[in-house]
């Protein structure tokens, strides 16, 4: 694995899946001796995590943007 000029790395997909690291997931870097440990940041709460995940998915979605009222109508089966 190679660090880019911007200091970025790609976390392999199998590791992301195993740890549940989705786009928008906040992580923390811990320095342990001469190593670095990456872990999920403590979440503010279940609701905040859900909103963050939905926002990340929405950014990647193609097609028309829905208003809150349209989303609510869809979830209610209207």
The 10s digit of each residue's pLDDT in 3-21 is 999 999 999 999 988 888 9
Q: What's the whole-number average pLDDT of the chain? A: 86
Report which of 43, 7, 5, 2 is spatially closest to residue 24, judged by C-alpha positions.
43
Q: Is the pTM value of this prediction over 0.85?
A: no
Report which of 22, 20, 7 is spatially closest to residue 55, judged by C-alpha positions.
22
Query: What are the mean pLDDT values of the chain's consecutive 10-residue runs (78 residues total)?
Result: 92 90 89 93 76 79 82 86
How long is the chain?
Answer: 78
């Amino acid at each position: 694995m190679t660090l880019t000029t911007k200091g970025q790395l790609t976390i392999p997909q199998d590791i992301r899946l195993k740890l549940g690291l989705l786009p928008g997931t906040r992580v923390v870097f811990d320095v342990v001796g001469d190593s670095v440990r990456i872990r999920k940041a403590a979440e503010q709460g279940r609701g905040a995590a859900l909103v963050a995940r939905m926002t990340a998915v929405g950014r990647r979605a193609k097609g028309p943007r829905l208003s809150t009222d349209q989303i609510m109508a869809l979830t209610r089966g209207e």
